[in-house]
Amino acid sequence: MSDFLDSWGLTLAIFLPLVGVAIMLLIPRKDEEAHKLVALVTSLATAGVGVALLANFDYDRTGILQFQVDRSWIPLIDSRYHVALDGLSLPLLALTLLVVPLCVIYSWKHFPEPHNPKAFLILILILETGMVGTFCAQDLILFFVFFEVVLLPMYFMIGVWGGPNRQYASIKFFLYTLLGSALMLVSFLALYFLLGTFQIPELAELAGSGLARTTGLLAVIGIIYGALCCLAQTDMKRLIAFSSVAHMGFVMLGIATLTDFGFNAAIFGMVAHGLITGMLFFIAGSTKDRFHTLEIKRLGGLLIQAPHMAWLLGLSVMASLGLPGLAGFWGEFPAILSAYQPGADLDVTVFRVYMVIAALGTVLAAGYLLWLYQRVAFGEPKEEWAGHEIPDATPYELVAWAPMIILMIVLGFYPNLLFDITDGAVVRALSAFGS
């Protein structure tokens, strides 16, 4: 089994969802139950491969690439099919393999209009291939390919199911990502001509710290900008989306400090963000399904109408604002603290200013998140919903949400469950910067 995983484990985890896609293409669109079953079985089978990888991962050597496959791919430009896992990529892979089947379960009775489960689930499985490949790729060109595989299905999902302004949103998404992808590809080519390789492990050994101060500045700008945008939102889903900008600011700040504490916080923050913001979007989707709107001023009284949903929303909000005892705390607090004493001879004064600004960002986060919860959950239901029966969380929703809620709490009380995995890889990565 170990030899099979070493040779084929990651490749199977990456491309198994496409097998499900191929099967679903052969099934008529009208057979919705078959499509749902194939998508669920495929995502669970892929998660099963992930469990096998987790079970066979050497946690005493998290800084070393494991399950490594390195094959010739495009010899003309010296690009290789090179995939592997270490302590940095393992948590993100595990998160992806967890969330995808939960999305399929949640969608079982929640397919948005226009009603097309076949196309919707096929795009989800293609997304899974792109996401898993992105986290496993050790070659820049291979990474770029998988990254683009993620963006294309997202364009179609936004364009078809993205709400009233979906066509405008999809075009805007396409233009932004096209520009970002073009710049990223140019930077990859520049690295190749400067350093002579597309291999990420080799590039890590040749890296330096010219950019840490700029990254730190962009991080705190993102924290404050994202928070101010949230305070201006009138739509629940838009507020949650802009909160992601602020959360990613804390991730960038942790990385910019070039300390093991900051790097560990950044990885923890990405995992926590996936759980918490994913949960918030799940609840927002269920709210839209019941009220047919996400305008905050039209919502209210959720604790009276759907108390289970309201309490889970409250727990997710508290996790998002960084309450101790929940996962979000360990993504934000260590990132802020690490800026007090940055590594690699970075300017201490500058980073302490960043620390203060980031701390102010947490106050703003508490403001907009508590404002959201107060408007949505407390008070009496609005008059327009009088006489309407608002169903509470369904069994499908609770099954999809339970693992995310449990992990938010478990990681909040026992963060070393994740830190013990990431720390070895972080120390190895920082050695390139002399930290």
Per-residue pLDDT tens over the stretch 9-23: 899 999 999 999 999
From the centroid of its chain, how far is CA 226? Answer: 17
pLDDT tens-place string over residues 237-289 = 989 999 998 999 999 999 999 899 999 999 999 999 999 999 999 999 999 88
Confidence of residue 67 (pLDDT cuts 50, 70, 90): very high
pLDDT tens-place string over residues 157-181 = 888 887 778 888 888 888 888 888 8
The single-letter code of the amino acid at 287 is: T
Question: How is the chain split into domains, by residue range?
Answer: 1-206, 207-435
Spatial distance between the Cα atoms of 313 and 401, rounded to a whole number of angstroms = 11
Asked if 366 and 243 count as a contact pair (C-beta separation under 8 A), the reply is no
Angle (CA) 353 359 365, round 5°: 140
Spatial distance between the Cα atoms of 360 and 226, rounded to a whole number of angstroms = 12
- Please give the pLDDT value at position 432: 67
From the centroid of its chain, how far is CA 276? Answer: 10
pTM, 2 dp: 0.91
Share of the chain above pLDDT 90, in %: 64
